[in-house]
Amino acid sequence: MLDNMKYPRGRLLMGPGPSGVHPRVLEALSSPMVGHLDPQFLALMDNIQEMLRRLFRTENRLTVAVSGTGSSGMESAFVNVVEPGDEVLVCVNGVFGNRMSDIVERIGGVLRRIDRPWGEVFDPAEIEEALARHPDVKVVAIVHAETSTGALQPLEEIGDLCRKNGRLFLVDCVTSLGGERVEVDAWNIDMAYSGTQKCLSCPPGLAPVTFSERAMEKLKARKSKVVSWYLDLSMIEKYWTEGERAYHHTAPISMNYALHEALCLVHEEGREVRWERHRRNSAVLVAGLEALGFRLFAQEGHRLPMLNAVWIPEGVDDAKFRKAFLDEYDIEIGGGLGEVAGRIWRIGLMGETSSRENIMTFLGALETLLERDGHAGSVGAGLDAAARAAD
Ligand SMILES: *Cc1c(COP(=O)(O)O)cnc(C)c1O
């Protein structure tokens, strides 16, 4: 019984992650196992660090891939710099801001939280005001690309504000890294983390993380131990540093092969070219969706190119449609989370998935399903508008 288990067949992954994985990454994943202190593996780690620095746009010495998915990156960013009793300002406009707040409370931080309606972004003035109200805040945390709503948060001014006021700036780049501009040094970001399975188009399992010297100083000056042994970056750093290489935990070897290859693909394409591809393809998809009567969810001017959130039109059954996409077309799209569950779809165009071909496949399927469901005039309308937008 057990050994007859079939592995899944492929799907077109157009949800909030994981995204499509390039065959070269899958091939790297199946390379032979070596030890975690093997010189071949150490050389590969050095390469990963260098490629991550180029992608995060930073000179930060501490730039590593933490073992675990994007959430382990989030947890490591907080747990290393926040000591019990430290005040943390968390900006919440979706699921991942909520998750940050939860982590702050779990590790004994004092949560100062400001909220915005889902789909909207924060204005720097709101953060300035909150900091004036809470002068002891040590860390300001915000999500760059809110995957639950499709909103892209501008960061530059907030980073300036934090630096001027002596606060550390912590940013979630899980969905933005590899799909949109991220400038860790220029935007004064002190702690940033990402995940492998969004715009890096790698299987889930590692979290790229980068810490500024200021963040490292806060870590080194701690009076209490980091409450997570596994995510303590002062120890993890030693394993990633040439000349030290102290054993902490066994690195997920194969996952690092995959990340290495995924980063090679990113840099072969070029950062700017890749961001432009994400933007252009999003515009094509949106033209098709709007022609079919869909309205975008997130605030205009602040929409993510890699995650397109749309209101589900009146008369369209969320669960029925998503099941039909999966069963009949092998297409996965994302439903809404939390307060917008059942009301929005999240259509991902992340990394490898962001292609003209995939958009047309999706729109063709959507038109057919709409027409069958009684929405006459759907067939051709979306594809037509998309093709025009693509010219
Ligand atoms: C996906 C995601 C996470 C969590 O990553 P996991 O890999 O699911 O642990 C955190 N933040 C954002 C913005 C995300 O999109």
For 110-134, b/e burial (b = at least 16 CB within 10 A) is: bebbbebebbbbbebeebeebbeee
Q: What is the pLDDT at residue 333?
A: 98
CB-based contacts of 91: which residues, under 8 Å, 6+ apart?
Answer: 97, 113, 114, 116, 122, 127, 140, 141, 142, 143, 153
Q: What proportion of the chain, given as a percentage, has pLDDT over 70?
A: 99
Query: Could you give the CA distance from residue 169 to residue 179 in angstroms, rounded to a whole number?
Result: 21
pLDDT over 80 (residue 359):
yes
Q: What is the pLDDT at residue 2?
A: 67
pLDDT average, residue stretch 230-254: 95
Inside any domain, residue 85: yes
- Structure-token pair, residue 20: 């499509």
Inside any domain, residue 211: yes
pLDDT in tens, 176-214: 999 999 999 999 999 999 999 999 999 999 999 999 999
- Residue whose Cα lies nearest atom 14 of ligand 1: it is 174
Inside any domain, residue 195: yes
pLDDT in tens, 296-318: 999 999 999 999 999 999 999 99
Query: Could you give the CA distance from residue 75 to residue 142 in angstroms, rounded to a whole number?
Result: 14
pLDDT over 80 (residue 145):
yes
The verdict on 239 and 301 lying in the same domain is no
Inside any domain, residue 1: no
Q: Is any atom of ligand 1 closer than 6 Å to the C-beta of 172? A: yes
The verdict on 224 and 364 lying in the same domain is no
Ligand 1 centroid distance, CA of 88 (Å): 20
pLDDT over 80 (residue 3):
no
Report whether 349 contacts 201 (CB < 8 A): no
Inside any domain, residue 258: yes
pLDDT over 70 (residue 79):
yes
Q: Is any atom of ligand 1 closer than 6 Å to the C-beta of 96? A: yes
pLDDT in tens, 246-294: 899 999 999 999 999 999 999 999 999 999 999 999 999 999 999 999 9
Ligand 1 centroid distance, CA of 387 (Å): 32
- Short-list 353, 371, 313, 347, CA closest to 22: 353
Report whether 332 contacts 353 (CB < 8 A): no
Where do the H-state alpha helices sit in the chain? 23-29, 39-56, 70-81, 95-106, 124-133, 156-165, 213-220, 233-240, 253-269, 271-291, 318-329, 356-372, 381-390
Inside any domain, residue 4: no
The verdict on 152 and 259 lying in the same domain is yes
The verdict on 232 and 288 lying in the same domain is no
- The parent domain of residue 371 ranges over 12-16+271-390
The verdict on 241 and 99 lying in the same domain is yes
Overall size of the chain counted in residues: 391
Angle at the Cα of 36 from the Cα atoms of 246 and 39, rounded to 5 degrees? 90
pLDDT in tens, 208-232: 999 999 999 999 999 999 999 999 9
- Residue whose Cα lies nearest atom 8 of ligand 1: it is 70
Ligand 1 centroid distance, CA of 70 (Å): 5
The number of the ligand 1 atom at minimal distance from the alpha carbon of 96 is 11
pLDDT average, residue stretch 118-136: 98
- No. of helices (H) and no. of strands (E), the chain: 13, 13
Q: What is the pLDDT at residue 6?
A: 86
Bridge partners for 140 per DSSP: 89, 169
Q: Is any atom of ligand 1 closer than 6 Å to the C-beta of 177? A: no
pLDDT average, residue stretch 47-52: 98
Inside any domain, residue 3: no
Q: Which of 243, 267, 291 is the last residue of a domain?
A: 267
The verdict on 118 and 251 lying in the same domain is yes
pLDDT band of residue 5 (cuts 50, 70, 90) is confident
Residue to mutate, 72, 95, 101, 147, ligand 1, most ligand atoms under 8 Å from C-beta: 147
Q: Is any atom of ligand 1 closer than 6 Å to the C-beta of 74? A: yes
CB-based contacts of 252: which residues, under 8 Å, 6+ apart?
Answer: 67, 205, 206
Q: Which of 267, 301, 333 is the last residue of a domain?
A: 267
pLDDT over 90 (residue 391):
no
Q: What is the pLDDT at residue 329?
A: 98
Structural domain count, the chain: 2
The answer to whether the Cα torsion of 61, 62, 67, 71 is positive or negative is negative
pLDDT over 90 (residue 133):
yes
The verdict on 70 and 186 lying in the same domain is yes
- Structure-token pair, residue 330: 């092998």
Secondary structure class of 138 (helix, strand, coil): strand
Q: Which of 217, 233, 267 is the last residue of a domain?
A: 267
The verdict on 155 and 291 lying in the same domain is no
The verdict on 136 and 252 lying in the same domain is yes
CATH number of the domain encompassing residue 370 = 3.90.1150.10
Mean of pLDDT over the chain = 97
The verdict on 179 and 81 lying in the same domain is yes
The verdict on 341 and 378 lying in the same domain is yes
- Short-list 51, 77, 267, 237, CA closest to 172: 77
pLDDT over 70 (residue 1):
no
Parallel, antiparallel or unpaired: strands 344-348 and 307-311 = antiparallel
Q: What proportion of the chain, given as a percentage, has pLDDT over 90?
A: 96
The verdict on 150 and 70 lying in the same domain is yes
pLDDT band of residue 36 (cuts 50, 70, 90) is very high
CATH number of the domain encompassing residue 115 = 3.40.640.10
Q: Is any atom of ligand 1 closer than 6 Å to the C-beta of 336? A: no
Query: Could you give the CA distance from residue 151 to residue 307 in angstroms, rounded to a whole number?
Result: 9
Inside any domain, residue 376: yes
Residue to mutate, 19, 198, 306, ligand 1, most ligand atoms under 8 Å from C-beta: 198
